[in-house]
């Protein structure tokens, strides 16, 4: 039997990062969050095999580009699996709406970019009004453009304290634009109805999401309350509301913020916290995206 210290050590050894990798097996583990993007570099030099598991969520999409050759990945889907070999400049895309499980074989060095579904939707609308519902998965396919961008991103992550936030933001926009143009897929036409929430489940889910600002309820708990799997719930919620749970919740928080901006003298930082945003910067960025003007400007215009 393990004592308390041994248990803590064992848990630390099994600790996984936000992408499902075992943190203690990574020789390089870099992250940079800015604006609409999260950038990562994950590098492992040994030839061990490890497992990556992430449950379905509404985080959006992840694109990974291999900086080196020699990595093999076995990806599981239900009772089936497929192996993919990665060369330098090979690409893969993950949709966080799906459960993901894979065995990683051998050393690897990846740079990755995570972008939200809301950013993809807004970018498509602003550029040409098109709609995409996902990406054609180029598992293991080489993409020289992503390869060059990955090299720049790797150097940027290695010296991120010296990187210009504007440069990093534009690098994310460039990567996502190429992703949309080359791999974006239009919604499939089908006579089969997409999953939708019942009125009862929709009301229950929205009530629990609104309570999330005051607690730590997870999408898994909401799905369980509706007697649905997490991945089915996320798809059904999006089909019912035309929003992911996260998008819907942000819109409710912004609507609450508008009420406070119009009818109270609270500071922007106090309103940000009262409405469930992590800080004033997050509040200002989200409000500006959804409303079209920063909250301070909107307040002045409303009260003029």
What distance in Å separates the CA atoms of residue 1 and residue 11, rounded to the nearest whole number?
14
pLDDT at residue 297, rounded to an integer: 93
First to last CA, the chain: 69
Taking each continuous run of H as one helix and of E as one strand, the counts in the chain are 11, 12
* 223 phi, psi to nearest 5 deg: -60, -45
What is the DSSP code (8-state) at residue 282? H
CATH tag, 16-185? 2.60.120.10
Residue 108: other Cβ atoms inside 10 A: 22
| Gap between the Cα atoms of 135 and 180, Å rounded | 8
- Determine contact, residues 92/42, Cβ cutoff 8 Å: no
The domains of the chain are located at 16-185, 199-303
Give residue 98's region: left, alpha or beta (phi > 0; psi -120 to 50).
Answer: beta
| pLDDT at res. 9 | 35
Both tokens assigned to 121:
């939707």
According to the model, what pLDDT value does residue 2 have? Answer: 39
Is the pTM higher than 0.85? The answer reads no
Q: Residue 58: what are its φ and ψ, rounded to 5°?
A: -110, 35
Length of the chain: 304
Q: Which CATH architecture has domain 199-303?
A: Orthogonal Bundle (1.10)
* pLDDT score recorded for residue 266: 93
Write down the pLDDT at residue 6. 39
Q: At which residue do the structure tokens 């396919």 appear?
A: 141
Q: Which pLDDT belongs to residue 8?
A: 38
The answer to whether 97 and 58 are in contact (CB under 8 A) is: yes
Radius of gyration of the chain (CA): 21
The model's pLDDT over 194-211, given as tens digits with 9 standing for 90+, comes to 788 988 899 999 988 888
The confidence score (pLDDT) of residue 188 equals 60
Phi, psi dihedrals of residue 263, rounded to the nearest 5°: -125, 10
What would the two tokens of residue 64 be? 């990974």
Q: What is the DSSP letter of 227?
A: T
List the 90-95 sheet strands across, edge first: 28-34, 37-44, 108-115, 61-66, 90-95, 141-142
Is residue 248 within 8 A of residue 197, CB to CB? The reply is no
Nearest to 28 by CA among 17, 14, 42: 42
Q: Are 90 and 50 in contact (CB under 8 A)?
A: no
Q: Which stretches of the chain score pLDDT less than 70?
A: 1-14, 35, 125-131, 187-193, 212-216
């Amino acid at each position: 039997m393990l004592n308390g210290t041994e248990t803590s050590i064992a848990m630390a050894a099994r600790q996984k990062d936000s992408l499902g990798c075992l943190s203690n097996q990574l020789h390089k583990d870099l992250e940079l969050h800015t604006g609409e993007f999260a950038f990562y570099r994950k590098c492992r030099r040994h030839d061990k095999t490890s497992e990556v598991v992430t449950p379905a969520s509404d985080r959006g999409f992840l694109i990974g580009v291999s900086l080196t050759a020699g990595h093999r990945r076995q990806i599981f889907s239900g009772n089936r699996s497929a192996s993919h070999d990665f060369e330098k400049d090979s690409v893969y895309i993950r949709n966080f709406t799906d459960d993901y499980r894979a065995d990683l074989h051998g050393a690897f060095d990846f740079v990755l970019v995570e972008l939200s579904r809301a950013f993809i939707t807004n970018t498509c609308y602003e550029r040409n009004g098109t709609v995409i519902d996902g990406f054609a998965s180029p598992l293991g396919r080489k993409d020289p453009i992503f390869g060059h961008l990955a090299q720049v991103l790797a150097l940027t992550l290695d010296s991120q304290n010296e990187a210009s936030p504007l440069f990093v933001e534009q690098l994310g926009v460039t990567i996502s634009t190429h992703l949309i143009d080359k791999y974006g897929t239009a919604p499939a036409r089908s006579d089969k109805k997409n999953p939708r929430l019942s009125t009862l489940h929709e009301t229950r889910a929205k009530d629990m999401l609104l309570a999330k600002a005051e607690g730590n309820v997870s999408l898994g708990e909401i799905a369980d309350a509706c007697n649905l799997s997490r991945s089915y719930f996320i798809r059904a919620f999006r089909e019912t509301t035309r929003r992911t749970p996260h998008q819907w919740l942000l819109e409710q928080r912004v609507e609450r913020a508008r009420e406070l901006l119009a009818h109270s003298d609270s500071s922007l930082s106090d309103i940000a916290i009262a409405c469930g945003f992590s800080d004033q910067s997050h509040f200002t960025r989200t409000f500006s995206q959804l409303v079209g003007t920063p909250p301070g400007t909107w307040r002045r215009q409303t009260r003029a």
